[in-house]
Amino acid sequence: MDFMLSEEETQFKEQCQHFASEILTPISNKYGETDDLPTEMIRAMAEAEFFKLLLPEELGGKGIKALKICLAREVLAGVYCPADVTLAMQGLGSYPIFLAGNETQKAKYLPRIGEGELLTTYALTEPEAGSDVNGIKSHAEEAPGGFLLNGRKRFISNGHAAGIVIVFAKTPLEENARALSAFVLEKGMEGFKVSKRLPVMAPHDLVELEFTNCHIPKENLLGELGDGYRIAMKTLDLFRMSVGAAAVGIGQAALSAAKAYAKERVQFGSPIATYQAVQFKLAAMATELDAARGLVYTAAIKLDRGDSQLAKSASMAKLFATEAAFRAVDEALQIHGGMGVMVGSTVERLYREIRALRIYEGTSEIQRLIIANSILKE
């Protein structure tokens, strides 16, 4: 799908690949799977200016381009998932500030995020509110000088390492009893704590947050009261398609591992790559991953060109890419046979890492609903 890329974008992808092979791979080998973000990785990503992809040029960034974010995630995810997740969370936590923040808020937070000095995250999901955003129970009430926030957030990536969190909470209005608002919370605010770290099948920094009469200064409100749902959905429009890009990267890593193993594994006197059953698996994997890459790039190009009707394209990219990548990893493991389920093997790790992508930022089932509703409105 590189024919869809300009010369500049092709060079950017090559730069990402060089970073991944020369810098990120040694870091991955050194730290392995971890719940803690390696400081060395954050520093390397900052020096390579990955976080500046998330900032407008007027704040020292490279301009927010969906396609470049997708290209970066595709490459990073195929090498080291903590790096991919960190880029994603820096984006999810900074984009609401870019969308709705005032000049003071942008100047206070965005340059530090771009330099990797400040880690951030995005807190929408709750124990009773995953796909159903209207089920959010966290609520913020106006109080002298700001707001009092009470509630919990769950499955918050990079939540232990993050210095600030974008939190969405109910702020009922007369015209909308279910209105949400978005706030910037800083670690250390009274009543705000990381209540627990959550162990998952593919380790990464995942936590639950708790707010008990947490006072939020009024200047930490993003946009106007009731703007939260719009901010949340516009942010997801961009980063949902980039989940598809990360899935393609993981799927491509699985295909590469399967191809290499099939060439060296001998059964019945011949490498298994010579058998049609294995060849058909490799062919299906490569075809589906190319199709997924095309959907992701198309959605990103539409966004970069100013297409406002993004929900369907973003959901198609996320749905197809995550499902296709899961099938690719599963087939790669099958090609490896018993070696594929050995703890510590590449495909065993990829098998655990790919699974969550079909769930977070909207399950595959939710993506199908979004696509269907968009089609029915056309």
Catalytic residues: 361
Three-state SS annotation for the chain: CHHHCCHHHHHHHHHHHHHHHHHHHHHHHHHCCCCCCCHHHHHHHHHCCCHHHHCCHHHCCCCCCHHHHHHHHHHHHCCCHHHHHHHHHHHHHHHHHHHHCCHHHHHHHHHHHHCCCCCEEEECCECCECCCHHHCCCEEEEECCEEEEEEEEEEEECCCCCCEEEEEEECCECCECCCEEEEEEECCCCCEEEEEECCCCCCCCEEEEEEEEEEEEHHHEECCCCCHHHHHHHHHHHHHHHHHHHHHHHHHHHHHHHHHHHHHCEECCEEHHHCHHHHHHHHHHHHHHHHHHHHHHHHHHHHHCCCCCCHHHHHHHHHHHHHHHHHHHHHHHHHHHHHHHCCCCHHHHHHHHHHHHHCCCCCHHHHHHHHHHHHHHC
**Phi/psi at 280 (nearest 5 deg)?**
-65, -35
Q: How far apart are alpha carbons 136 and 366 in whole angstroms?
A: 17
The CA distances from residue 56 to 38, 60, 110, 219, 307, in Å, are 27, 7, 9, 22, 19
For helices 346-355 and 311-336, angle between their N-to-C axes, nearest 10 degrees: 150
